[in-house]
Structure 1
């Protein structure tokens, strides 16, 4: 009788997991087709963006001063796709003396060309090379990532890929448009982060004890990280304009945006993945302990969870340090090359922002570990041993 009940519960959860996977797949398709609300049809109609091949270059108007090159590069390119495929056009590439934005093309380069057409869209008025064409290699890299993930992990790999796509679409199609429309950045970010975290964990683990424990720990960690980001963000007194392109938004006309709140929300968003990893590691490990030793008690399982958490926390905090430091390596090098005193370096708003990112994220990791271990200790030992296997 008990075995039949366990089988019934197992099949019920299996069906629920399948329906949930299908639902998220359909929701991802809807999000993909959903407009952001910030499309500019006039700009799209006037300008066509197509792949092109550079045939010839003329660099006579380029002038180099020290390490900066300015001027206009004249190009001849062949359109590789679209209505004007096969046409040869003259184009320009204007260099502004900003190395992070400027690029110099050479013969044989594939570029993304912007074509300005007339009202009838049957004639190109002007053309320019916008940047190197990278869409193809990006798609190839994503395809290799997807294939490897599915081949290595099978159905779980497919669900992981689905969660990846769903999270990316949620950020691009929901979070960013809502932020641009002036919604409260911290509240909206927390809500969307909580929802996407729930989707990811349920997709990977299904409706199970392991998923519930990991989700509880993750949401607790996200809330704690959010609170710490708001609290110490206030004391650090760092403006949101410390981030690249934040001022560009203001100059574009979005003067109503709470730039500093968006910066703070970015802190707990960037730490959410690591928080979820720690919660999942501890939950999965406790689940394995229970499967191997069903008679284990609550206190002993919590203690095991703590022992599992210690090395996980030790490596994950360093992971955040590497991740944030790597993005600012050139800034560190520039400050050191100038002989800037250490006290000035760590007081610079750019560096202080990364310190805030790293320490708040690490603090969240430290706190999520014991919370997950305690929750797991009670959840995994709360039901009878007969149903443990079915729900694990």
Structure 2
């Protein structure tokens, strides 16, 4: 049975400050409010019947309209049965196909006085309840295993999501320089996450300084090799759509490069925290240890952690492009052609530059930890 360790006063203060900061950030206006139609409403609905007679199937591609009979499950029209339509455009990545018993997110188009339903458009399968359940299960397991540390980890998880949604993305859309903005957000997240989990102490300071050194190196490498690779940021999915949506002023290339050190920052934090914690435990058991010995211990831990973490990045990035690579292999495309394609080169840049930060954060954290832990207080 896991024991729930009571929090220290400093931990409680830090948690309260993080909660207050999260609430403040959450309340900030982004300038990009959700667009709800003047006379429309989003509801949850149940598919009762389907009519596929207007659908034209060409191989595995379907186009046309799927007619649905649905029952509204919430809102002022709860219980009402109406007809709805689902347009299929022949692109499997965007099309949805419904069967009786499916639950959907549906937009109701209402009359001017909003007393009648004019038409209904089925948007997608309804997944909000399942997503909420999955999040609850994650929180339950995390807190059951890690106790108070799990509570702090969950708070840092939510804080990171809030900062990305309310600060980073709106800032990019508003035209702020992607690199400085992303660095500032990552520095904020790194400080809050590390000090929230490790506490405001030497261990937290070592982990923070080590992580920031790795992130700074990753940023420098991304800028340097991003220019040498001559890759445009439009290679990322939906990037070009932004330009056509009224955001032609966006620097997609800098946004792409910023994404490199943002996506690797979590792994960098993991390594710096692992090494800082390992050195702290060694120092606690032998407070007379020499800085050189403690640094060596950090190096040894770093070697083991980096060995697996680098492969983790490769698997994470390549997994998202497995279908693309399969297409090239099936067509017999020469390997040199594949490796030289801009979007494949972009992922190689992403993986290798991110891995540079992972490799170099280990020795930097070990050096910083040995210096801070063994520093003698002046009397």
For residues 187-219 of structure 1, give each alpha carbon's deviation from its aligned partner in whole angstroms, at most 9, with x where no partner exists: 100001001110000100111111000000001
Match of 1:10 in 2: none
Corresponding residue for 2:128? 135
Query: Counterpart in 1 of 2:14?
Result: 20
Partner of 1:271: 264
SS in 1 for 2:242: helix
1:287 is matched with 280
- State which of 296, 301, 304 in structure 2 corresponds to 1:308: 301
Structure 1, unpaired ranges of 5+: 1-12, 387-392
CA distance 1:266–1:46, shift in 2 (3 Å): farther
Task: State the SS of the aligned residue for 1:54.
Answer: strand
* Aligned counterpart, 1:333: 326
Alignment partner, residue 289 of structure 2: 296
SS at match of 1:359: helix
Q: 3-state DSSP class of the match of 1:105?
A: coil
Q: Which residues in structure 2 correspond to 1:104-253 (within 5 Å)? A: 104-253=97-246
Distance in 2 (CA, whole Å) between partners of 1:123 and 1:242 is: 45
Q: The residue matched to 1:160 in structure 2 has which SS? A: helix
1:307-332 per-residue CA deviation (whole Å, 9 max, x = no partner) reads 11111111010000000010111011
TM normalised by structure 1 equals: 0.93
How far residue 52 of structure 1 moved from its aligned partner, in angstroms, is 0.4
Report the CA distance shift for 1:99/1:374 in structure 2 as closer, same or farther (over 3 A).
same
Runs of 5+ consecutive residues of structure 2 not aligned to the other structure:
1-6
TM-aligned CA deviation for residue 33 of structure 1: 3.5
Q: Are 1:49 and 2:42 matched, yes or no?
A: yes
Q: What is the CA distance between 1:45 and its match in structure 2? A: 3.5
- Which residue is equivalent to 1:4? none
TM-fit CA distance, 1:101: 0.5
Instruction: Indicate whether 1:324 and 2:317 are aligned.
Output: yes
Could you tell me how far 1:35 is from its partner in structure 2?
3.4
- Residues 64-108 of structure 1 show CA distances to partners (whole Å, capped at 9, x for unaligned) of 112211110001101111111111111100100000111110000
Structure 2 counterparts to residues 76-87 of structure 1, below 5 A: 76-87=69-80
What is the alpha-carbon distance in structure 1 between the residues aligned to residue 316 and residue 194 of structure 2?
23
8 A contact 1:103–1:131 mirrored in 2: yes
SS of 1:82's equivalent in the other structure is coil
TM-score by length of 2: 0.96
Residue number among 79, 83, 88 corresponding to 1:90 in the alignment: 83
1:141 Cα deviation after fit: 0.2
What SS does structure 1 have at the residue aligned with 2:147? Answer: helix
- Residue 295 of structure 1 aligns to a residue whose secondary structure is coil
Task: Identify, as 1 or 2, the structure richer in helix.
Answer: 1
Q: Which runs of 4+ in 1 moved over 6 A?
A: none
Q: Post-superposition shift, 1:44?
A: 4.4
3-state secondary structure, aligned to 2:244: helix
For 1:74 and 1:151, the matched residues in 2 are separated by 46
Which secondary structure does the structure 2 equivalent of 1:129 belong to?
Answer: strand
Deviation at 1:40, TM superposition (A): 4.5
CA distance in 1, matches of 2:38, 2:276: 52
- Aligned equivalents of 1:47 and 1:289: distance in 2? 62
Inter-CA distance 44–150: structure 2 relative to 1 (3 Å threshold): farther
Aligned positions, number:
373
Aligned-partner SS, 1:63: strand
Kindly state the Cα deviation for residue 17 of structure 1 after the two structures are TM-superposed: 3.1
**Is 1:113–1:127's contact at 8 Å kept on the other side of the alignment?**
yes
Match of 1:99 among 70, 89, 92: 92
CA–CA separation in structure 2 for the residues paired with 1:49 and 1:349: 40
Shift, 1:292, TM fit: 1.3
Aligned equivalent of 2:352, options 354, 359, 362: 359
Deviates more, 1:21-30 or 1:104-113: 21-30
Once the 2 structures are TM-superposed, how far is the Cα of residue 29 of structure 1 from its aligned partner? 2.3
State the alpha-carbon separation in 1 of the partners of residues 91 and 170 from structure 2. 29
